[in-house]
Structure 1
Amino acid sequence: MRHIVSRDRLGSSRRVARRTLAPLLLAVVAGTAATATATATASVSVSASASAARIPWPGYGQSAVAADGRAPMGTSGAVGRPHPTASVAKVMDAYQVLLDHPLGVHDSGPTITVLPYEAAAYRAEIHSGQTLVAVAGGERISERKALEAMLLPSGNNMARILARWDGGSIDRFVARENRTASRLGMGHTHFADPAGTDSRTVSTAPDLIRLDEAAMGVAVFAQVVGETSARVPVAGVVRNHNRLLGHNGVLGVKTGWTGAAGGCLMFAARVKGGRSHQYHTVYGVVLGQPGPPPAGRSFDAAVRLIEGAQRFL
C-alpha cells in the first residue's frame, strides 16, 4: 500500500525542516568563519591600524617596522615568543663595544692584539662552515677595523675576540650585553654568546627594533654598517653581506642565518614618504625567513616592508 501525504502536510514538513536546518547551517558557516579567522590570526598577528593592516607582511617568522623613533607601525608573527637571532646579535656586540670604547667617525680607536689561542681556534674552525675572518697570533687590529671585520663579513671569531677584549672574558661581556638589553627595554631578549651561533641567543622583532634605533644613533656604527667593503689586517678586503645597501634607501644594518634561526635581517632605510613627501627613517627586523645564507628571503621581505611603510608616511 502506498502512503499518500497531503500537500498541506508536505508543505508544513518542509517549513519545519527549513526552520530546523537554517540555524544549523548558520552555525556551520559561523564556525567555519571563526576557524578561518583563528587560523589567520595565528599565522600573522598584525597591528590594528589601517596602515599596518595593508603593509605586505612576510608569511613566515616574525617582523616589525617602525619609523622615526616612534612606536612600531605594526608587527607580524608570534612577536611575543623569543626567536634565535643568528648574527643579528652582532649589532649588540658592536653597540656594547662602542658604549664601552666610544669612537669618533674619523677615529681608529685602541689596538687589539689577537691572542695565540684565538688564532689557533680560527685554524681549527676554518672548515666548520662558520663565517670567519682570517687572523694570526700577535696580529694587531684597531677597534674600528675589528668592528668592520665582525659586521661586514659577519666574522664569528672576531665577535668573540672583541667580546674577550672588551669584557675581559666572553662571559662577562655577554652579561654586560644582557644588562644593556634590559636598559633598552628588550624584555624578551637574552644573549648567550656574542656570535649568535648559540640558539639560546634569542630576541623578538619589536625588541630588536629598539636596538636598531639605538645602534644607528651611534655615528660610527651607522658609518661602518653602511660600508660595502673594507680592508682589514691579515684577511685583506672583506665585503658586506647586506646586498640591499644602496637600494630602496637602505643604510644598513645586519644579516643573519643559522639552521635554528632561519634568515634574519635588521635594516634601516631613508625614504620619502608617500603622504608627507618628506624623508623618514624606517627601521625594521625580520626573523625566521626560509632560504639559504646569508639571510634567506629576508632581503625580499625587507624591500616589501620598506615600500609598504613608505606609502603611509
Structure 2
Amino acid sequence: MVAVLLLGAVLLVVAPLRHPLPLPTVAPVLPASMTIPGEPPALPWPRSGQAAVTVDGLGTLGTSGGTAAVPIASVTKVMTAYVVLTDHPLKVGEQGPTLTVSARQAAAYPQEQARGESLVRVTAGAVFTERQALQAVLLPSANNMARILAAWDAGSVDAFVAKMNATAAALGMSKTRYTDPSGLDPDTVSTAVDQVILARKAMALPAFAEIVAQREATLPVAGTVKNYNTLVGKDGVVGVKTGSTDEAGGCLVWAAVVRVGSVRLTIVGAVLGQPGAHTPEQLTAVFKASRSLVRAATAALDVQTVVRAGQAVAAVRGPIGTGTTISADGQLDVIGWPGMVVRLTADIPPVPARLAAGAEHGRLTAVAGDRPPVETALRSGALAPPSTWSRLKAHR
C-alpha cells in the first residue's frame, strides 16, 4: 500500500514534466513605420505661379500655386527632346544621325525673326547632327530647330505633336496638352507637377542630361550659342530648361545634384508663371525663385537616425515567466527630412527554447521612399527553458 502511494506521488510530480512546453512568442516593440521627428521643412514657395519640388528616390517636398494647367513656353522643349531621344537614342558624346535644313525651313527664318522668336540661324542645306540640333533646342531654346527636329523625327510637325501628347499620357501627365513642339503657342499647357514627372524621365537619359548641363555649344551656321539657364553650375544645378512668353511668364524646370553624407541625390523642381514685363525680367524672377527652392530643399535633406544600436525591436515571451529582448545590433540611418515616414520591417524567425546572449536572430530593415533599404542584424538576449523546479511550482 505504501509503495502504491509512493508511486502515485512520483507520477503526480513527474506528470507535468512530460507535457511539452509551448514555444516562445515574439511581440514587436517597434512599429511598422515611424515619422522622422522635427518640424517638416517649409520651402520658400513663390508668391505667384506654380511650383513643385521632388527628390529622386524620396518623394515630394511639396507644391504651391494649385494644379490648373497653364502655358509653359519653351519648357515644352523638354518633351520635344525626350521624344526625339526616345526615338533616336544617343550615347554620351555621340553625334548621331544628321538632318539637313530644307530651303522652305531656311526661308521661314526672316518671318520667325520678325515675330521675335527665339531662334538659331540656319541656311538651306545646312547639316546638323542630332546632338547639335538638340543643343540648339535645349540651350538657346531655338523654336525653329524644334520644328525642324519634329518634322525630321515624325515626318511632320502635326505628327510629332501627336507623339508628344501620347508620351505625356503614357507618363501620367494628366493635365498636359501639347499643340506645338516649341511652346510658342499659349495653348500648350501643363502643370509644375507634370513637368517634374517629365524632367525626371528626361534626366535619366544620359545624352539629355549631358546636353542640358552645358553652358555653351558650337553649332553649324550659328557658331557658339549660350545656355539660357544661367543657374547651371550653381548650387549643384545641372539643367534643365527655361521658358518665357507674355502668356506663360517666366518658367524653369531645374535639376540639382547634391551630396548628403556619402550619397548623391537629384532634386528636381519646376517653377511656372513668374512675373515680368519681358523675357529678361521673367527669367530673373524665375531664377530667383528657383534658386531659393534649390537651396532650401538641399538644406532640408540630412542623414537621420531611425533606430539606435541596442534599441529593443521585439520582446520574447517564453513559458512560465521566461523571456528576453531582441535588439538592433547596429544603428540604422536614412536620408530624409523631418516629417517623412520611414518603413521598418523586422524579419525574425521562430524563436527556439534556448538562445545564447548576443546570438544573431533576424534582420531589421529601414526604407525611406524608394531608396535602397538599410539593414542591421538583430541580436537576442539570453533565453533558457524554465527550470524543473519552476515547472513543478507552476503546476502546484
TM-score (norm 1): 0.81
Greater share of strand: 2
Does residue 120 (structure 1) correspond to residue 107 (structure 2)? The answer is yes
Counterpart of 1:298 (choices 286, 292, 307) is 286
Give the counterpart letter for 1:169 in structure 2.
Answer: S
1:21 is matched with which residue?
none
Question: What do the CA deviations read for 1:60-115 (whole angstroms, capped 9, x no partner)?
Answer: 1000000014432100002x200101000000000000000011112111110101
* Whole-angstrom distance in 1 between the partners of 2:294 and 2:48: 17
Counterpart of 2:59 (choices 58, 71, 83) is 71
* Whole-angstrom distance in 1 between the partners of 2:60 and 2:160: 29
Alignment of 1:156-167 (within 5 A): 156-167=143-154
In the alignment, structure 2 segments of 5+ residues that lack a partner are: 1-37, 302-396
Q: Secondary structure at the match of 2:59?
A: coil
- Equivalent pair of 1:145/1:232 in contact (CA under 8 Å): yes
Shift of 1:222: 0.3
Number of aligned residue pairs = 261
Give the counterpart letter for 1:233 in structure 2.
Answer: P
Give the counterpart letter for 1:136 in structure 2.
Answer: T
* Whole-angstrom distance in 2 between the partners of 1:260 and 1:230: 29
* Whole-angstrom distance in 2 between the partners of 1:286 and 1:51: 21
**Which structure 1 residue ranges, 4+ long, deviate > 6 Å from structure 2?**
none
Counterpart of 1:307 (choices 295, 302, 306) is 295
Question: What do the CA deviations read for 1:218-261 (whole angstroms, capped 9, x no partner)?
Answer: 00000000111101000111110011011010001000000000
Give the counterpart letter for 1:287 in structure 2.
Answer: L
- Equivalent pair of 1:72/1:206 in contact (CA under 8 Å): no
1:206 is matched with which residue?
193
2:365 is matched with which residue?
none
Q: Superposition RMSD on alpha carbons, in Å? A: 1.4
Q: Secondary structure at the match of 1:126?
A: helix
* Whole-angstrom distance in 2 between the partners of 1:221 and 1:182: 21
* Whole-angstrom distance in 2 between the partners of 1:195 and 1:62: 20
Does residue 224 (structure 1) correspond to residue 211 (structure 2)? The answer is yes
Q: Secondary structure at the match of 2:52?
A: strand
Shift of 1:311: 1.9
* Whole-angstrom distance in 1 between the partners of 2:75 and 2:217: 19
* Whole-angstrom distance in 1 between the partners of 2:57 and 2:246: 32
* Whole-angstrom distance in 2 between the partners of 1:68 and 1:146: 28
* Whole-angstrom distance in 2 between the partners of 1:151 and 1:91: 8
Give the counterpart letter for 2:40 in structure 1.
Answer: S
* Whole-angstrom distance in 1 between the partners of 2:40 and 2:257: 19
Counterpart of 1:88 (choices 64, 75, 78) is 75
Question: What do the CA deviations read for 1:113-139 (whole angstroms, capped 9, x no partner)?
Answer: 101111010122223211110000111
* Whole-angstrom distance in 2 between the partners of 1:221 and 1:180: 17
Does residue 103 (structure 1) correspond to residue 90 (structure 2)? The answer is yes
Does residue 243 (structure 1) correspond to residue 230 (structure 2)? The answer is yes
- Equivalent pair of 1:114/1:139 in contact (CA under 8 Å): yes
* Whole-angstrom distance in 2 between the partners of 1:237 and 1:93: 22
1:285 is matched with which residue?
270
Does residue 172 (structure 1) correspond to residue 159 (structure 2)? The answer is yes
Q: Secondary structure at the match of 1:73?
A: strand
- Equivalent pair of 1:290/1:296 in contact (CA under 8 Å): no
Q: Secondary structure at the match of 1:191?
A: coil
Give 1 or 2 for the bigger CA radius of gyration.
Answer: 2
Does residue 252 (structure 1) correspond to residue 239 (structure 2)? The answer is yes
Identity score, percent: 51
Shift of 1:271: 1.7
1:4 is matched with which residue?
none
Question: What do the CA deviations read for 1:153-201 (whole angstroms, capped 9, x no partner)?
Answer: 0000000000010010000000001010011110000000001011110
In the alignment, structure 1 segments of 5+ residues that lack a partner are: 1-48
Does residue 267 (structure 1) correspond to residue 258 (structure 2)? The answer is no
2:50 is matched with which residue?
62
- Equivalent pair of 1:111/1:141 in contact (CA under 8 Å): yes
TM-score (norm 2): 0.64
Change beyond 3 A, Cα 1:106–1:279 = closer
